[in-house]
A and B are shown apart, each in its own frame.
Chain A
């Protein structure tokens, strides 16, 4: 135990000082040489003891020795008995290096060398020992990985080592994993008490061990294992539900992002912008373009794409509004057709200018990977960021609508255009600003979407119908409605998906919305009063 404590402390010191301080951690070179020579000479049973000694020696080269041994790369020089590391064993002459110092010793004839024999039992023992060695590293992530590796791999040799380790480990998770690893071993030895420790775990190896125990000859153990398995099953279900909810929220926040710009333009101007999806696409392509501008810095490019995507889409929106929509005032159906034409042109433009194929947008490192809540539930980071982003955008829009002059004017024009104009509000200007805002938000949606889906010319098309459904479901002219509708639809979709399949779930959601419109033709949060009749 003392050796381990020393080792942990020294490893920490090594981490901090990175270098010279380590010298003290080394056993004398000749001691090491003796150890290795003993390993070479010992029979299999003794080898196992020597391996343990090497591991306990506290030398940080121990790891490389053990790995070399397991890989069959240690050899002795026949004449002197000196242990060397074979770095290249092809051909007649092998390249060797001193195992202790690591210095190259040039080439040696294969005949002059004697490989140290290794078998599978020893190899797996080395693996276990290496995991135990890793348990002493300062970085708790490495320790956790090592502890997880040990689950179901503990044997009589490593068990006492882990017991010692368990007493000094400070990280709760690592300790829990170690306790589980030990408990699996104990369960295999037929100790019924071990089951108690295992009953809360979601790890698949723990479950495998319990499954084994459930078919054990001892009825008491079998019953206890069954019970533990049942409680684990329960926990798994709960986690599955949490995961579904997470996916639902993430899909929902994507829908919110895609729909909220539409809700603004539709609510204020009463026009359906069928090119909205293509504005989303422009945002996504802006992200791609920024990454081409800043190669090798996907994170910076992504952050810069947020304003850039907004600007590009907003500009496109202004152009659409000025060139087409303003000429079609009061004719919503014609506006729908004209903007649809624009969407076709934009799609084809991207296909012709850039490529009809999907472009890859790199996900920056800090957005990839996932947060592991427990063994059964891990949240992918990019989706988490998208959820956060959607909420931030939503909050920002709420602020603009509630706290700024523009928001006030937008709301006034939405409620009663003629009255607002007679109060001196320039409705045309408000139209342009709203359209730019709504389009800009579509661009933001595109930036977010580029992180979780393929960026291609059809990107917008895939989202346009869903976005409309969200707006219709939530009620026009109400941002809260869009938020609630988007998150609800996303979650419903994810709940239906496992038992109905992706396509059928989508169809069911569409049918649900059509039926819902029967009950509430103006959505979840309808506008009240005269504004409702538009």
Chain B
């Protein structure tokens, strides 16, 4: 990171990043316009429900970008990124719970409803400070970041890689899920945290707040994308790709592989945490099911479908799969798991480079029109 002043700006000069940001901001503006200025009965009107739904997709997209950063560029297949997502979400959820104040069912000025229900008389120490927005927002980054730091430090130091690492990450999120299901943990147990009222003083149920959250998510996705792009185009990024392709060789060349891995892993976890934090106020609930291994592995298939090691592919994959999920679960809920399962199989067997791979192939074919022969696979 010698060129620390420019590493964040460099991606902005890339055509692909400009294109991505252009499309993203264009979509944000269009949706905002259609929501605010189109009459309610117009076919072009975007309802508040749809805005929130799109906001949810953008959260998933940011999460997918985070997973793509470690999987695509570091070769670590994390099956536990849902844990970081959920931790960020819980940090945000705790802030939102404290904002309810005495408007809860039991009207306790300090304790959230579920604690009153459990007959707790004081706030646990780890809930302290979450009434302040700045503290909560720092925790959104710190909680998943710290977990990733400790976990990554232990795992990478002892050179746990490949399928072993995947399984261990899955065990991590599984363990956390079991833990958060416990009432004694003080995170609302089975029901999680819900019944939020307002964020930073804005009513969460108003359309304006929803639109604001949607736009904030879009901006967060843009920033996250630029950060990831900055990392992968920097020297650090090239070393991490080297780790992905030949870990032992990189180590023999004198690079501290585990440090690179740790850094990228922690950044990715923090991005996932931000995605979770933006997700919670939009869906209005956070509960332990976000920790479920199934969710974490689903994220991976978004990335796989979009195409790994492209970042924008992850965004495409996340939005496509979740749109399909919305449609499927609405029309025929039973078929969704069949479709998802088939997607896993088909993508890995027939579409190893994902949709992004198809796009690249077409562009290359166009470029190579004059040249004969097929392009070599990267």
Which residues from chain B contact A161 at a C-beta distance below 8 Å?
none
Choose among A335, A337, A469, A517 the residue that contacts B160 (Cβ–Cβ < 8 A).
A517
Contacts of A201 in B (CB 8 A): none
B154 touches A504 (CB 8 A): no
Contact: A337 with B300, CB < 8 Å? yes
Chain A interface mostly: helix
Closest residue of chain A to B345, judged by CB?
Answer: A341
Among B168, B179, B343, the residue within 8 A (CB) of A507 is B179
How many whole Å from A68's CB to the nearest CB in chain B? 55
A472 vs B181: C-alpha distance when bound (angstroms):
26
Measured in the bound complex, the distance between the Cα atoms of B340 and A347 in whole Å is 12
Take A337-B344, A352-B334 as given contacts and tell me if A507 and B178 are in contact as well, using a CB distance cutoff of 8 Å.
yes
Are A327 and B77 within 8 A (Cβ)? no
Contacts of B158 in A (CB 8 A): 517-519, 521
In the bound complex, how far is the Cα of B154 from the Cα of A65, in angstroms?
77
Q: Give Cα A506 to B179, complex, Å.
A: 9
B residues in contact with A469, CB < 8 Å: 167, 171
Which of A327, A340, A503 has a CB less than 8 Å from the CB of B178?
A: A503
A483 CA / B170 CA spacing, docked (Å) = 23
The smallest beta-carbon distance between B64 and chain A, in angstroms, is: 14
Q: Provide the A465-503 mask, 1 if CB < 8 A to any CB of B, else 0.
A: 100110010000000000000000000000000000001
Which one of B164, B175, B181, B349 contacts A328 once the chains associate, using CB atoms below 8 Å? B349
Stretch of A34-42, A405-413, A508-516 at the chain-chain interface: A508-516
Instruction: Closest A residue to B337 by CB, please name it.
Output: A348
The residue of chain B having its C-beta at the shortest distance from the C-beta of A465 within the complex is B174
Cα distance, A441 to B8, chains bound together (Å)? 53
Q: Which residues of A contact B168 (CB under 8 A)?
A: 472, 514, 517
**In the assembly, what is the distance between CA of A511 and CA of B157, in Å?**
16
Contacting residue for B348 out of A334, A343, A347, A518, CB 8 A = A334
Check: B357 CB closer than 8 A to any chain A CB: no
Docked-complex contact B338 and A503, CB < 8 angstroms: no
**A506–B178 contact, CB under 8 A?**
yes
Measured in the bound complex, the distance between the Cα atoms of B349 and A342 in whole Å is 12
The answer to whether the Cβ of B89 comes within 8 Å of any Cβ in the partner chain is no
One digit per residue, 1 when the CB lies within 8 angstroms of any chain B CB and 0 when it does not, for chain A 325-349 equals: 0011001111111101111110111
Interfacial residues of chain B within 33-90, with CB under 8 A of chain A in the complex: 77
A312 to B341, CA, bound (A): 21
Q: A518 and B157: CB pair below 8 A?
A: yes
Interface residues on B, range: 35 or more
Q: Please tell me which one of the listed residues B167, B297, B345, B347 contacts residue A472 in the complex, with CB atoms under 8 A apart.
A: B167
CA distance A468 to B166 in the complex (A): 11
Contact of B175 among A347, A348, A349, A510 (CB under 8 A): A510
Q: B167: which A residues are within 8 A, CB to CB?
A: 272, 465, 468-469, 472
**A351 in the interface (beta carbon within 8 A):** yes
Q: Does A168 contact B (CB under 8 A)?
A: no
Q: Choose from B154, B155, B166, B341 the contact partner of A336 (Cβ within 8 Å).
A: B166
Bound CA–CA A85/B274 (angstroms): 83
Query: Within 8 Å of chain B (Cβ to Cβ): is A357?
Result: no
Which B residues are CB-close (under 8 A) to A327? Answer: 349
Task: Say which residue of B154, B159, B179, B344 sits within 8 Å of A514 (CB atoms).
Answer: B154
How far is A343 from B294 in the complex, measured between Cα atoms in Å?
11
Contact A465 B342 (CB under 8 A): no
Within 8 A of B (CB), among A171-230: none
Q: Contacts of B174 on A, CB cut-off 8 Å?
A: 465, 510
Interface hits, A253-272 → B, CB 8 Å: 266, 270, 272
Beyond A324-B345, A521-B164, whether A514 also contacts B171 by CB under 8 A is yes
Whether, in the assembled complex, B162 has its beta carbon less than 8 Å from a beta carbon of chain A, the answer is yes
Q: Which residue of A lies closest to B182 (CB)?
A: A503
Rounded to whole angstroms, the CA-CA distance of A270 and B345 in the bound complex is 18
Q: Which of A340, A465, A503, A514 has the most CB of B within 10 A?
A: A340
* Interchain residue pairs A-B with the least CB separation, the first 3: A341-B344, A344-B341, A345-B341
27 contacting pairs across A/B (C-beta < 8 A): A272-B166, A324-B349, A328-B349, A331-B352, A334-B304, A334-B352, A337-B297, A337-B304, A337-B344, A337-B347, A338-B348, A341-B341, A341-B345, A342-B345, A344-B337, A344-B344, A345-B337, A465-B167, A465-B170, A472-B164, A472-B167, A472-B168, A503-B179, A507-B179, A511-B175, A517-B164, A518-B157
Which residues on B are within 8 Å of A, measured CB to CB? Answer: 77, 151, 154-155, 157-160, 162-164, 166-168, 170-172, 174-175, 178-179, 181-182, 293, 297, 300-301, 304, 334, 337-338, 340-345, 347-349, 352
